[in-house]
Structure 1
Amino acid sequence: MSLREAAKKSGLSHAYIRDLELEKNRSTNEKITPSPDTLKKLSAAYDYPYTELMIKAGHLMEQDIAGTPTPNIQIDLNYVFYIEVGMKEIIYCNQNSKVTRSIESLRDFSEFLDMLDEHEFRKVDADIYANFQQIRKYDDRNGKLYFDLKGEGIFVSMSALRQRKYHDLILRKIANNNQTSLEFSFGKTSNMNPSFVKG
């Protein structure tokens, strides 16, 4: 696969992939270590085991894989509003509570990310994943996703990059979650003004 093909498949730049191959940033000449998210994209693009990439990058040790299995976490993700992923813990948040679980090892990190994706969680900021099935209101001006119709309760902030990436998806999800239809009105300006109509 060429660098450009790999870039297209992974969503990473071909220059960055070239730096990874050389194991250094060509601009600064410093050693480069890809993040777990980057490795996840490369794993999918190259159809290469994610766990092995995590070991090669130094994020995961062999003993993490051979360790005792972690207990099954009994949390229904359908009712979780958002998840914060820290270095040593995962925090599950909803309207009534926050549940913190320790990260004993990173061996199940790939499965964890897959599980979030299956339950329609999207990364909205550095280490925050929002449940798109639970969002009810979107304040695009301030980059906030609310989990109630009035926009007065719990919210998560989104980075500008993620707002651009998910803008249309957010509008569709809110229409679906609130059981409204999404209509676009076209005025004299070129801006599309979405409005939600009770269906």
Structure 2
Amino acid sequence: MGQAIPEFGKFLESLRGSMSLREAAKKSGLSHAYIRDLELEKNRSTNEKITPSPDTLQKLSNAYGYLYRDMMIKAGHLVEQDFSSPTTAFDIDIDLTQIYYIEIGMKEIMYGDQKSKLTKNVDSLKDFIQFLDTLEDHGFKKVDSEMYVNFHHIRKYDERSGRLYFDTAGTGVSVALSALRQRKHHNLILRKIANNIQSSLEYSYGALPNSAVPGFELM
């Protein structure tokens, strides 16, 4: 653990910039009142000092487009020296190419595929952050505040419910996208599904009705 920079709350406010509190709340999934409390560094109801958790900082990092690792250092959760020495790979025994989705908790990570789930504790915050930074290299995209999905494995997309399935019938395991991520990844999802099921529509889906895309239901 390090020490937070002076006036860390003002630093958070500067990252928000011209973005309104309600817009920041919508992007981060945090309440606008709580974001303002963090900027003031106190709970306005109790007048007690508050410090954002690593999970909260990750949400703000995504909302503001600021590097999570640097935000953690400025908040005092990490120090620069943590990244100056070699480290072992995080969960090196897990083949991420075979994992369908990953759910991130405060102290543990849950890996899932079509048949099983595996939970592992987070022993090193430093390795954990570096692990998150590599997920996209393995085909994972963030679909909610704590959920990452391997887009190489999705086979069906229910647009109305915002659910992704890993089987073409849509009867097996599924995960839900947040409304924000659904809008952001909509076209990518359709392309990936077409590619994953070896469909010739991979590059032409945009010119066809949704119902013509294999695995996609027009609701």
Deviation of 1:141 (Å): 0.7
Q: Does 1:145 align with 2:167?
A: no
Deviation of 1:36 (Å): 3.4
Deviation of 1:83 (Å): 0.3
* Equivalent residue, structure 2, for 1:119: 138
Deviation of 1:68 (Å): 11
* Equivalent residue, structure 1, for 2:74: 56
Deviation of 1:79 (Å): 0.9
Could you tell me which of 171, 174, 189 is aligned with 2:190? 171
In 2: Cα distance, 1:68 partner to 1:119 partner: 22
* Equivalent residue, structure 1, for 2:149: 130
2:212 is matched by which residue type in structure 1?
A: S
Alignment partner of 1:91: what SS?
A: strand
Alignment partner of 1:116: what SS?
A: helix
In 1: Cα distance, 2:187 partner to 2:178 partner: 15
1:151 is matched by which residue type in structure 2?
A: G
In 1: Cα distance, 2:86 partner to 2:206 partner: 53
Deviation of 1:157 (Å): 0.9
Could you tell me which of 90, 103, 108 is aligned with 2:127? 108
What TM-score results when the alignment is normalised by the length of structure 2? 0.64
Long gaps (5+) in structure 2: 1-14, 25-35, 215-219
Matches within 5 A, 1:36-51: 36-38=57-59, 40=61, 50-51=68-69
Could you say which structure has the higher strand fraction? 1
* Equivalent residue, structure 1, for 2:99: 80
Could you say which structure has the higher helix fraction? 2
Number of residue pairs aligned between Structure 1 and Structure 2? 181
User: Which segment is superposed worse, 71-80 or 128-137?
Assistant: 71-80
In 1: Cα distance, 2:92 partner to 2:173 partner: 24
2:205 is matched by which residue type in structure 1?
A: E
Alignment partner of 1:169: what SS?
A: helix
Identity of paired residues, percent? 47
In 1: Cα distance, 2:211 partner to 2:93 partner: 38
Alignment partner of 2:213: what SS?
A: strand
* Equivalent residue, structure 1, for 2:117: 98
Deviation of 1:108 (Å): 1.9
Deviation of 1:123 (Å): 1.2
- The question of whether the paired residues in 1 share the 8 Å contact of 2:16 and 2:64 is answered with no
* Equivalent residue, structure 2, for 1:193: 210
Specify whether residues 42 and 127 from structure 1 end up closer, same or farther in structure 2 by C-alpha distance, changes over 3 A only.
Answer: closer
In 1: Cα distance, 2:62 partner to 2:117 partner: 29
RMSD (Å) for aligned C-alpha atoms: 3.9
Specify whether residues 69 and 129 from structure 1 end up closer, same or farther in structure 2 by C-alpha distance, changes over 3 A only.
Answer: same
- The question of whether the paired residues in 1 share the 8 Å contact of 2:139 and 2:150 is answered with yes
Deviation of 1:120 (Å): 1.7
In 2: Cα distance, 1:43 partner to 1:166 partner: 18
* Equivalent residue, structure 2, for 1:183: 205
In 1: Cα distance, 2:156 partner to 2:63 partner: 33
In 1: Cα distance, 2:183 partner to 2:128 partner: 27
Matches within 5 A, 1:156-167: 156-167=175-186
Q: Deviations over 1:139-191 (max 9, x none)?
A: 011111000010000100111111111110100000010111143456xxxxx
Alignment partner of 1:107: what SS?
A: helix
- The question of whether the paired residues in 2 share the 8 Å contact of 1:185 and 1:194 is answered with no
Q: Does 1:13 align with 2:19?
A: yes
